[in-house]
Amino acid sequence: MTTADLKVLLQDAIVATIDGGKEILDVYVNEFDVEYKEDNSPLTIADKRAHNAIMKTLEKTGVPVLSEEGRSIAFEERSKWPLLWVVDPLDGTKEFIKRNGEFTVNIALVKNGAPIMGVIYVPVEDTLYFGADGFGSRRLTEAAAKISKNTLEDTLNASDALPEKQKRVFTMVGSRSHMSDETAQYFEGIRKEYPDAEVMSRGSSLKICMVAEGSADVYPRFAPTMEWDTAAGHAIAKYAGFEVVRPDDNLPLEYNKEDLLNPWFIVKKG
């Protein structure tokens, strides 16, 4: 894939995340019903509307899509895809239902099992994170208005390179809704080296974004996640100079596996 090809797909992914975010916000500001899937995880009309909006753009690219809202595609078919989109139309549905603003739209481009592009949009904050091979990772504020008017070059020029240097104590970030005992133990181990270390809690893929932007130093995830929860953030972290690796062998997460469940992982400095 050429840089020009990747540039076109990056622009498509950015537009799709913004469009998905607009649909989510339209639901967020009104009353909405909550359904529950077979695994007892919540689902709202916002998930469905964001999925449909995103698909309108991504289907035009000719690249197949693996989405949380379309997870039933057989591995026999997916295994033939060297290149695919991995999409979570609404990451952090629990946070959406709580109305705390900590939810995102995630779109990643995966090539041969590795993420080569990631775009994450935070609708309530109107902040866009994106990273891609050859472009590094960047953050754009007040994104919706800027994206609707600008080309990718303008977006790149208006955005800030990640990570940013910040003066702070060693900071760990954990899940707001899924903190495990193993994660708590990991944090205690860190405090032996950094007694003043702080722990911050966030929902959705915002945790990976915090490491990528320089707001946190490490994010351990010792609880279940799916590929669409992490693929976009993985790319953004990677191209900001961080790694998303399994704690047992320090190897990076892989995508488009037969089992779409992720192993445990840690986001940290590469």
Residue 160 assigned ligand-binding role: no
SS3 sequence, 198-252? EEEEECCCHHHHHHHHCCCCEEEECCCCEHHHHHHHHHHHHCCCEEEECCCCCCE
d(CA 123, CA 20): 9
Query: Helix, strand or coil for residue 265?
Result: strand
Q: Is 90 annotated as a binding residue?
A: yes
Tokens of 253: 């997460």
Task: Please state, in angstroms and rounded to a whole number, the distance separating the CA atoms of residues 109 and 198.
Answer: 33
DSSP state of 142: S
Q: Is 88 annotated as a binding residue?
A: yes
Under a CB-based contact definition with an 8 Å cutoff, are residues 229 and 262 in contact? Answer: yes
Q: Can you list the alpha helix ranges (DSSP code H) found in the chain?
A: 3-28, 45-58, 75-78, 93-98, 143-149, 152-158, 181-193, 206-213, 227-238
Both structure tokens of 20: 């998905």
The answer to whether 92 is a known ligand-binding residue is yes
Does residue 91 have a known ligand-binding role? yes
Q: Which amino acid is at 139?
A: R
To the nearest 10°, report the CA torsion of 186, 188, 191, 196.
120
As annotated, the binding site for substrate includes: 68, 90-93, 229
As annotated, the binding site includes: 68, 88, 90-93, 229
As annotated, the binding site for Mg(2+) includes: 68, 88, 90-91, 229
